[in-house]
């Protein structure tokens, strides 16, 4: 990998990356069983309050870990994920277990086979430690509306970890897993990753297979990893897309790298501390030679209307039968929003899809002469549980709208986007820097993110 694994005094440290843990296993300092047991002990210790998991697969995880240790001892090394405990947002089918989508609508469901990405994780030797809690059917940004109760932020249990992949983020932050696989429709990997000080990757559209995954919007959904470092995200992404895990990288320099910073719509609704941390990160990159250019998108104001007409119409289509047959099993607010989607006219859905092409062309144009685009990931810190509104400066805004504001564009356009930590606020709550890459070029984006991560100060990069 591009960075040497750190020798930790504690090979069971909850802050170890996959790279570190894999190296520790191969040095004989720990085992997959020890890592898995430590994760399960952490779940036992804290999950009654954090509520990151819906299903803990303790027995099977120990069996998988023991098998991984035997294989590694026999010289059958499947790569850096071999023996590493991973959690899965409870939208991914795992054979023989329920896929609840955090909803009573799916009571009684048991998956008959693994989702393709689960098969790939198993082939890579990953240990599946459990199914993570989420905002019901992924239709939300706070993880508060779940049939299994809200997830609480491991750093402040009075706050949401973000969502909809909130259980995924909380499980990694709290040391219950080394990475998690989430889904992202409007920001649901990147939002909780930013709120929890993690790396979160939404790959380019089509990179990762979606079979065996409960959908929200087939146009906008993407599965991807939440991890502790860009190197870890690179490893997991390669496994998810079915490619050989990359371990060698061309040395690159920030000097002369052209970077576009999105302004106006993307900087007009921002917590002041988040804004300052973002500007500090940009200044750090400029100090290392990056060429920072300001970018404006002419139709940024159309992002939210385009998004809502696509996500609600497609979500309503998927849920139409169960909204008629078992509506009372949904959480009330999720049900209400899906019911609202049923009233969207076909002509307006078509308009939204046409607007999608307009936005795609504008982002492509912004990236035509630049390596990447930068913007904050989340305009606010992790919100307090129960808050429907948030104050930004002198204005009160709906929490959900604010949390989606900076991420949903890249679900609409399909560009790959990744968040890395860029510091903490005065209350020690994390902020995220979002990096956006060219269409279809997720691996290039990861390489750029690795470069950015290496040039942010230790306090910035988590």
Partner 1 sequence: MTIKTWLELATQDAERRGLPALRPLLEALARSTAALRMADWNDDATGGTGPANRTGVMPVTHEQ
User: Which active-site residues does the annotation give?
Assistant: 89, 164, 188
Binding of residue 314 to partner 1 (CB under 8 A): no
Is the CB of residue 269 less than 8 Å from the CB of residue 392? yes
Q: According to CB under 8 A, which one of 10, 264, 293, 348 is a site residue for partner 1?
A: 348
Hey, what are 406's tokens? 């900076």
Q: CA 460 to CA 458: how far, in whole Å?
A: 5
- In angstroms, give the least distance from the CB of 146 to partner 1: 19
Nearer to partner 1, 245 or 353 (CB): 353
Q: According to CB under 8 A, which one of 92, 148, 265, 307 is a site residue for partner 1?
A: 307
Q: Please name the residues in contact with 120: beta carbons below 8 A apart, sequence gap of 6 or more.
A: 239, 240, 242
Q: How far is CA 322 from CA 316, 330, 401, in A?
A: 10, 9, 26
Nearer to partner 1, 204 or 300 (CB): 300
Nearest Cα residue to 333 out of 140, 193, 166: 140
Binding of residue 393 to partner 1 (CB under 8 A): no
Could you write out the three-class secondary structure of 160-211? CCCCCCHHHHHHHHCCCCCEEEEEECCCCCHHHHHHCCCEEEECCCCCCCCC
How does 315-332 read in b/e, with b if 16+ C-beta sit within 10 Å?
A: bbbbbeebbeeeeeebbe
Binding of residue 450 to partner 1 (CB under 8 A): no
- In angstroms, give the least distance from the CB of 135 to partner 1: 13
Strand, coil or helix: 414: coil
Binding of residue 375 to partner 1 (CB under 8 A): no
- In angstroms, give the least distance from the CB of 379 to partner 1: 14
Nearer to partner 1, 68 or 344 (CB): 344
Beta bridge partners of 279: none
Q: According to CB under 8 A, which one of 398, 427, 428, 457 is a site residue for partner 1?
A: 398
Nearer to partner 1, 344 or 367 (CB): 344
Binding of residue 339 to partner 1 (CB under 8 A): yes
Binding of residue 302 to partner 1 (CB under 8 A): yes
Nearest Cα residue to 40 out of 24, 23, 60: 60
Contact positions with partner 1 (CB under 8 A) in 216-255: none
Token pair 């490893």 is at which residue?
Answer: 235
Q: According to CB under 8 A, which one of 163, 192, 197, 355 is a site residue for partner 1?
A: 355
Q: According to CB under 8 A, which one of 243, 301, 365, 389 is a site residue for partner 1?
A: 301
Binding of residue 299 to partner 1 (CB under 8 A): yes
Binding part of the chain for partner 1, among 69-77, 230-238, 337-345, 439-447 by CB under 8 A, reads 337-345
Q: According to CB under 8 A, which one of 89, 337, 370, 415 is a site residue for partner 1?
A: 337
Q: How far is CA 215 from CA 69, 354, 434, in A?
A: 35, 22, 24
- In angstroms, give the least distance from the CB of 378 to partner 1: 15
Binding of residue 309 to partner 1 (CB under 8 A): yes
Nearer to partner 1, 186 or 376 (CB): 186
Contact positions with partner 1 (CB under 8 A) in 180-209: 186
Q: CA 258 to CA 286: how far, in whole Å?
A: 10
Is the CB of residue 282 less than 8 Å from the CB of residue 338? no
Q: How many residues bind partner 1 (CB under 8 A)?
A: 30
- In angstroms, give the least distance from the CB of 133 to partner 1: 22
x/- map, 1-20, partner 1, by CB under 8 A: --------------------
Is the CB of residue 115 less than 8 Å from the CB of residue 105? no
Binding of residue 389 to partner 1 (CB under 8 A): no
Q: CA 147 to CA 325: how far, in whole Å?
A: 18
Q: What is the largest CA-CA distance in the chain?
A: 63
Q: CA 37 to CA 43: how far, in whole Å?
A: 10
Nearer to partner 1, 243 or 345 (CB): 345
Q: CA 100 to CA 47: how far, in whole Å?
A: 18
- In angstroms, give the least distance from the CB of 50 to partner 1: 27
Q: How far is CA 119 from CA 2, 112, 203, 238, in A?
A: 27, 13, 19, 13
Nearer to partner 1, 243 or 350 (CB): 350
- In angstroms, give the least distance from the CB of 5 to partner 1: 41
Is the CB of residue 410 less than 8 Å from the CB of residue 202? yes
x/- map, 100-139, partner 1, by CB under 8 A: ----------------------------------------
**Checking phi first, is residue 96 left (phi over 0); if not, alpha (psi -120 to 50) or beta?**
left
Residue ranges in contact with partner 1 by CB under 8 A:
186, 299, 301-302, 304-309, 311-312, 332, 336-337, 339-340, 343-345, 348, 351-352, 354-355, 358, 398, 400-401, 404
């Amino acid at each position: 990998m591009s960075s040497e694994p750190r020798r930790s005094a504690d090979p069971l440290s909850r802050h170890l990356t996959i790279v570190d843990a894999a190296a520790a296993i191969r040095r004989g300092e720990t085992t997959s069983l020890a890592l898995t047991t430590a994760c399960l002990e952490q779940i036992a210790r804290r999950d009654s309050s954090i509520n990151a998991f819906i299903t803990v697969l303790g027995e099977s995880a120990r069996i998988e870990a023991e098998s991984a240790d035997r294989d590694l001892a026999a010289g059958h090394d499947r790569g850096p994920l071999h023996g590493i405990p991973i959690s899965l947002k409870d939208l991914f089918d795992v054979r023989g277990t329920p896929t609840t989508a955090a909803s009573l609508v799916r009571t009684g469901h048991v998956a008959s086979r693994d989702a393709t990405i689960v098969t790939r994780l198993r082939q890579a030797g990953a240990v599946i430690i459990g199914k993570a809690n989420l905002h019901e059917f992924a239709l939300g940004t706070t993880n508060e509306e779940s049939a299994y109760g809200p997830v609480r932020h491991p750093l402040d249990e009075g706050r949401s970890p973000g969502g909809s992949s909130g259980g995924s983020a909380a499980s990694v932050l709290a040391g219950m897993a080394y990475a998690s696989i989430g889904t992202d429709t409007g920001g649901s990997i990147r939002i909780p990753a930013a709120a929890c000080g993690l790396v979160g990757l939404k790959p380019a559209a089509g990179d990762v297979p979606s079979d065996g995954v409960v959908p929200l919007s087939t146009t906008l959904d993407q599965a991807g990893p939440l991890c502790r470092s860009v190197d870890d995200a690179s490893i997991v992404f390669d496994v998810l897309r079915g490619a050989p895990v990359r371990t060698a990288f061309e040395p690159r320099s920030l000097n002369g790298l052209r970077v576009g910073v999105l302004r106006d719509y993307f900087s007009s609704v921002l917590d002041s501390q988040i804004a300052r941390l973002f500007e500090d990160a940009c200044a750090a990159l400029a100090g290392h030679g990056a060429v920072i250019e300001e970018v404006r998108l002419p139709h940024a104001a159309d992002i939210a209307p385009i998004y809502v007409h696509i996500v609600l119409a497609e979500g309503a289509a998927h849920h139409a039968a169960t909204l008629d047959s078992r509506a009372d099993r949904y959480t009330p607010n999720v049900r209400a929003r899906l019911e609202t989607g049923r009233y969207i006219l076909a002509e307006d859905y078509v308009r939204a899809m046409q607007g999608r092409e307009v936005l795609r062309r504008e982002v492509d144009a912004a990236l035509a002469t630049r390596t990447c685009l930068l913007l904050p990931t989340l305009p606010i810190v992790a919100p307090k549980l129960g808050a429907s509104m948030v104050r930004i400066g002198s204005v009160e805004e709906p929490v959900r709208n604010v949390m989606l504001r900076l991420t949903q564009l890249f679900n609409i356009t399909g560009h790959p986007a990744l968040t890395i930590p860029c510091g903490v606020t005065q209350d020690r709550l994390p902020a995220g820097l979002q990096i956006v890459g060219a269409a279809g070029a997720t691996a290039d984006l990861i390489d750029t993110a690795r470069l950015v991560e290496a040039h942010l100060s230790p306090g910035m990069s988590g």
